[in-house]
Amino acid sequence: MTNLQTYPEIANYAQQTSEPAWLSDLRIKAWQQTKHLHLPSFGKIRYQRWPIQLEQPLEFHQSNPKLLQNLKIEAAKHLVVQFGQTTVQQTGLQSLAAKGVIVCDWVTALREHEDLVKKYFMQQAIKYDQDLLTAQHVAKLTSGLLIYVPKNTVLTEPITSYFIQDATSKQDFVHHVILIVGENSEVSYMENLMTVGEQPTTASVIVEVIAQDNSHVKFASVDRLGKNTTTYLNRRAHLGKNAKIDWSMGMMNDGNIVGDFDSDLVGAGAHAETKVVAISTGRQVQGIDTRVTNYGPHTIGHILQHGVILSRSTLIFNGIGHIIKGAKGADAQQESRLLMLSPKAKGDANPVLLIDDNDVTAGHAASVGRVNAEQMYYLMSRGLHKKLAERLVIRGFLGPVLAAIPSDWIRSQLKATIEGKLIDGQKDE
């Protein structure tokens, strides 16, 4: 047991939140490791000089829910809304509890489901000492959500969350989600990341998905963090035998961000479909590193990424498919395409295939190009002004990714967000 009093910041926070001793000990171990660990490296993403490291003290902040009055939150049957470290709304969770499903905020999870958190937190999908950013995340973690779906449970209605960063004061947003899906179970989860306030801040968000044998997870997200927020966003999945995850992620942020999305196909027959749409505007930089690792035999890992770059912004797609030795019959496919609408925009699409075994299937496609002049000429000759014509071309470019998303509801959410992002982005030009 570590002497907590030698780390007064952690001790004070633990006392304020009644945190269990094992988590405080893990914070201290993580903090100690930050002296020896390095920032992770992502191909062609130059982020090391960004203010992405967590510099603010570990403190408990109570956010004011009145600041959310002008924020649009879509109605949902099962809904959780968190503002900073404060849970402001929970809807329809009792009906889930009747089925044995657990949905609760981080403090409640530690108080009422400590054994579950301790068993899965930074144990399978990702380790606390993987790199400097993960260690800092554990040391400074202040909010989050636990979702547990017991085995043989099929949820027909999605669980929806809104995680709203409180940037009305200069504080780090350090948030963690654990989604555990039992054997033979199915769940759809819709995550929204947003910002209220304009203070320059740093966000560190990690999501762990544990998909046990024969389970199916549909994970969708719309990320809309603010222009003054520098973000490290890490989403990981650990899949058992014949488990499947459908990732559908809309990267609509306004600030600089590193997205690290990984799926580990551990069990035989595991399957990951990763779909990403991204739009960069202004002077922002979005670097997205998407990886699928085939560990088990007959596993399937597909990556489909389409992005649009406006104004002076930068968007980088890395796609990595790695078939480990022993993964006979595995399939790794990826496609990354970028569309630039400005001569000052910068884009890069980097496909990587790492094949360590025979009797596998693998392939990739990548492209970076500008808007088709003939398409624009045709649309404008029919009376459409340039900005509307551009939006139509962009819709067509992103269409294949949106069409591949399995949920109509998620597709409609993403389409509405994309339209708003495009309109705002064209104002910057």
Condensed to tens digits (0 to 9), the pLDDT of residues 348-370 reads: 999 999 999 999 999 999 999 88
- Residue range 58-78: average pLDDT? 92
Question: What CA–CA distance (Å, rounded) separates 207 from 179?
Answer: 8
Q: Which two tokens stand for residue 273?
A: 């479909």
pLDDT of amino acid 2: 55
First to last CA, the chain: 57
Domain span at 178? 4-267
- Residue range 261-285: average pLDDT? 96
* Highest mean pLDDT of the ranges 63-77, 287-301, 379-393: 287-301
Burial of 146 (0-12, 13-18, 19+ CB in 10 A): buried
Exposure on the CB side of residue 153, measured as CA atoms within 13 A: 20
Q: Which of 185, 242, 227, 266 is nearest to 427 (CA)?
A: 227
Q: Tell me: pLDDT of 378 over 70.
A: no
CB atoms within 10 A of CB 361: 12
Q: Which of 317, 250, 240 is nearest to 272 (CA)?
A: 240
Q: Identify whether the C-beta of residue 362 lies closer than 8 Å to the C-beta of residue 341.
A: no
Q: Identify whether the C-beta of residue 66 lies closer than 8 Å to the C-beta of residue 48.
A: no
- Residue range 41-55: average pLDDT? 97
Question: What CA–CA distance (Å, rounded) separates 106 from 174?
Answer: 12
pLDDT of amino acid 427: 63
Task: Please indicate, yes or no, if residue 132 is contained in any of the structural domains.
Answer: yes
pLDDT of amino acid 194: 96
Task: Please indicate, yes or no, if residue 19 is contained in any of the structural domains.
Answer: yes
Query: 3-state class of 123 per DSSP?
Result: coil
pLDDT of amino acid 428: 64
Domain count, the chain: 1
C-alpha distance from residue 261 to each of 240, 288, 330, 395 (Å): 18, 8, 20, 24
* Alpha helices, DSSP H, located in 274-385: 373-381
Query: 3-state class of 419 per DSSP?
Result: helix
Q: Identify whether the C-beta of residue 307 lies closer than 8 Å to the C-beta of residue 278.
A: yes
Q: Tell me: pLDDT of 393 over 90.
A: no
- Whose structure tokens read 């990763």? 274
Task: Please indicate, yes or no, if residue 288 is contained in any of the structural domains.
Answer: no
Q: Tell me: pLDDT of 321 over 80.
A: yes
C-alpha distance from residue 78 to each of 100, 158, 187, 230, 235 (Å): 14, 7, 12, 30, 22
What percent of the chain has a predicted confidence (pLDDT) above 70? 97
Task: Please indicate, yes or no, if residue 294 is contained in any of the structural domains.
Answer: no
Q: Identify whether the C-beta of residue 195 lies closer than 8 Å to the C-beta of residue 67.
A: no
Task: Please indicate, yes or no, if residue 26 is contained in any of the structural domains.
Answer: yes
For the segment 131-152, what is each residue's pLDDT rounded down to a tens digit? 999 999 999 999 999 999 999 9
Cβ density class 250-269: b for 16+ within 10 Å, e for less: bbbbbbbbbbbbbbbbbbbb
* Alpha helices, DSSP H, located in 348-407: 373-381, 386-404
In this structure, the strands spanning 244-251 and 346-355 are unpaired
- How many residues make up the chain in this entry? 429
Give this prediction's pTM: 0.95
